[in-house]
Amino acid sequence: MIVISKKIISRPITPQIKGTSKPIIIPQHRDTISCMAYYHVEGILYTGSFDRTVKAWRINEKKCVDSFIAHGGNINDMVVNQQNGYLITCSSDGTVKMWLRVYGENSHALIRVLVFHAYPFHALAFSVAVSNKSFLYSGSTDGTINYWEQEISCRYTHGGFLQGHRFAVLSLVTIENIVISGSEDSTIRIWKREKGRGNIHECLAVLEGHRGPVRCLATFLQKDKFALSFLVYSASLDQTFKAWRVKLSPEVKKSPFGDDDDDREESKSQMEFETSPVLSPSWVKKKLQISRSLHKLV
């Protein structure tokens, strides 16, 4: 039998100080809470908001231990590097920032600002490689996925960007050397980071089925002796939730005499598959109208 315990907090927590009737006022966000991340080592829950602040909550003490203005725009996503405690946030102000809690204190210090373009960032994902290297992925409004490579010294260098989505990348998730992205163009793309090839990324598949922007993603690794198998869960603004089963078969070596007819036909069908996203006609019309309005303003 499985017992699930659920605790719902519907109002601010105001614990009492022993010996007094004065409550401890816990600072609340002034706007929508857009993202959360949990640091397991310290038991700290981070929340990011459209009020441009990040708050750190110590769960066992049920209180906010730090609050700071992190960006000049809405905070859209955040991740925590569980190996070193770095908090990474992204915002509509077009920046990705790295924060670290000051040793022995609760306050946080800005370590580095990662800027590659002026487009708003919507999603972040973190991937740890076997070689002790880690990769940070960020999805932006222009439809690209930028990635940075982190060395052991915690220094990040821009590695490049992944192109394929037509509109904004709204969600990202990683599993081993696989990156999964959900976009405003209603598609989900599966990317593979090739080992020993200069961190080259290849788009393996495009999942089509949603009729609206893909806002949330989650993945679960399945055991399979012969192939990498995992489940992908997606939620969209079309009000549907979908589950996808993905199995990556071992690579087949190409013929040294060049591609045969079957290979060319398979490549052709793959290209046709990738360039035909399923979009709601009314949503596309609205998107194009907004784009035309922005061009007129420029």
49 DSSP β-pair partners: 33
| Short-list 177, 225, 167, 222, CA closest to 200 | 177
Q: What share of the chain is helix, strand, coil (3-state, %, to 5)?
A: 10, 45, 45
In contact, 79 and 68? CB cutoff 8 Å: no
Domains observed in the chain: 33-253 (2.130.10.10)
The CA distances from residue 110 to 68, 114, 131, in Å, are 10, 11, 27
Alpha-carbon span 10 to 112, nearest angstrom? 36
Reading the chain (298 residues) residue by residue, the pLDDT tens digits are: 444 444 434 344 434 434 444 434 357 899 999 999 999 999 999 999 999 999 999 989 889 999 999 999 999 999 999 888 999 999 999 999 999 999 888 899 999 998 777 889 999 999 887 666 789 999 999 999 999 988 666 677 888 899 999 999 999 999 988 999 999 999 999 999 987 666 789 999 999 999 999 999 999 988 777 777 899 999 999 999 999 999 887 654 443 344 444 443 443 333 333 333 445 555 556 666 665 665 555 4
Q: Which helix (H) or strand (E) holds 137?
A: strand 134-140
- pTM value > 0.85: no
SS3 209: coil
45 DSSP β-pair partners: 38, 57
Q: How far apart are the first and last CA of the chain?
A: 62
pLDDT of residue 99: 95
Report residue 171: phi and psi, to 5°.
-150, 145
